[in-house]
Structure 1
Amino acid sequence: MPFSGREPVIVGAFNTPQARVLEGETSHSVTLAAIRGALDQAGLGVADVDGLNILPGLDYQNGTRVFGYAMGIPYFWVGRQAPGPASVLEAASAIESGVCDVVVLAAGEAGIHTDRSSVAPWTRPANEFIECWGLMTPAEFALSAKEYMHRFDVDPLKVAYVASVIRNNGSRNPEAIYHGRGPFTPEDILGSRLIADPYHLLDCATTGEGGSALVLATAERARDLPVRPVRVLGGGSESWGPSYTHPPTYDRVGMLGRQAADRAFMMAGLDREDVDVFELYDNFSWEIIRYFEAFRYCEVGEGPDFIADGAIEVGGRYPIVTDGGTMSHSHTGESQRHQRVVQAVRQLRGTTSANQVANARTALVAALGDIVLLGI
């Protein structure tokens, strides 16, 4: 291939301050702040950018074009994949193939979720099976978790342990919305009110406001920049069908991401045990167990014991969600998926604000069926 020497790397990874409510901010303002922060960190300016994938708030259709025009970029490549691992892989492919040289990925949210007595708006789209029956995101994800726990006779405390680890990571992180809200035990998780069996309140993601952005460039370009580049080693992406219209039973969604993980490790030339840190999208606690089984770290049904006894804590062999994730750090709609990548980059650079994994050189980032492997 003529562009095979154009290795894609991440040179900027930035989160704005996160909060339950950011007074006076909008989805556009926090997204713009994240873009500025990521470009400044990379030592680049708007004039260097020729690729964009930007999602302010819930503007899935026009966000990138609106931002590109407003930023004064005459012409630009447009990415279309969802924030997080999928958009990183798409941008890396565009750079590697010579379509563009510097790509900004960003998303942010503020001022959308004003009714704190209800679930977030992105979890209740206007589908016929939601508005009349109430099949919202917590209930959807609870279906497969409950079926799995029944099938393998899982002690609820073992699932609650996952949430306690993530929330304790956030409690130690000064950048997390719920900094200082801990420590938690599995019993504390099960003691919170039931939302959708088997999930209790503290098993579930929170909501927040803020922005997140990434900048990718070629490794050659990165040599002149003031930051340590993080390599995009491999990845994969897969989905299973339309949400909210077909039941996400365990048999249907339990192995989501398995083939994507196989491809990612093959592309990267890595073994499973080469990964040092796992930044996994933690929308609900059992999903972490599902990831480790789907990605072939253990056999199906063995996940609850595999992650037990400190294995997924900082200092354990498979440290997860080290900033506190959606449960404790922040959940700003789609931009949280970018935050998984940002935290992985910070871990590999040794610049995280808390819970630094010693000598981390390789990270796995996953959001449902989207996976990317990063390394230094």
Structure 2
Amino acid sequence: MSIIDLDQAATGAVRREVLEAMWPYLTGDYGNPSSTHALGRSAAAGLDRARAVIARATGVRQPQVVLTGGGTEADNLAVIGLTLGAIASGRGRHVIVSAVEHEAVLAAADYLARWHGVEVTRLPVDNSGRTDAALLRSALRDDTALVSVQHANNEVGTVQPVHALGEEARERGALFHVDAVQTAGWLSLDPADSPELLTADAVSVSAHKLGGPKGVGALILHTRARLEPIIHGGGQEGERRSGTENVAGAVGLAVALQLAGEEREAHPDRWSAEAARRDAFIAAVVAAVPGAQLTGHAVERLPAHASFVVPGLGGEPLLQALDDRGILASSGSACAAGRDEPSPVLLAMGYEPDTARTAIRFTWGSSTTQDDLDRAVATLADSAAALRR
């Protein structure tokens, strides 16, 4: 039985071009880039080249790229590091996050509240998972240090109006962080190409969401504001993130970003074309599965992302039935997989706990065929019918 992976918002395969670019830094050029001998200098040169590619892809200078161990660390560094830097600079102890942020942001904000006396406001969202500038305007205060809002939600796919939100934050003198982990493969991270990011002071990215390896990411800084490190040691990354750099990982992230950029240039209509396929898939699921309801915004959502609740059916039994038939899907965030609690994202959107427990998410990539999506719809319909018997 062939497997169809429709859980690619969780992770994707490493691209061959990425693996080939990484290989030399896992074998012959394996040196520590902080070492001063020939092997170390060769690794350092590879790291510098990778950082230059990442900087070009994100529209910044090389020193503004802080390499991290993934998207979670990038989010933590932004939320904790920028807030502690703001406190040290006398800019206030208030942080605003949306109620549907990734756990990496929410937990970082909770840490600040618990250990540093920071007051955290969770900004409400509507039933599509979006917040708006008016809500943020009413929540902002003179002592607000940071606002953190994800570009697109990993569970329901909703895209936030980050430019308008960032304008509100800037108007009140607060820093603005955008978690762009889910959009990095679809949209340019260079504000010159993606004006919605023009108001961002910091942007998080993770390699394994766009064809790179797991365990590497970056925080892209568009601000000179003070950033306190959260990992201490040898002072790498301009004393902002200590630890021996993952050279091969950085090369992988650089190549993945470069390939994504080349594909966007070659297929400028890729987002709209995939969104049309997404809309057809959503319509087919709603027609084939009685009671299925789309979650997230119907239009302002990721192009290869379809999420539903199916009241009356258990989400986990449905996922298991699909898995048994070769269709890989998820109930939402991979970071929360296996828990019995309803999704906090769906609860924040107004769903009842029992309904939130029926969530199911389908996400795909460029290699996913129309036949794959058609098979998924048919299998979902058969599985749902079998569970209802």
TM-score normalised by L of structure 1: 0.28
Larger radius of gyration: 2
Higher relative contact order structure (alpha carbons within 8 Å, sequence separation ≥ 6): 1
In terms of fraction of residues, the more helix-rich structure is 2
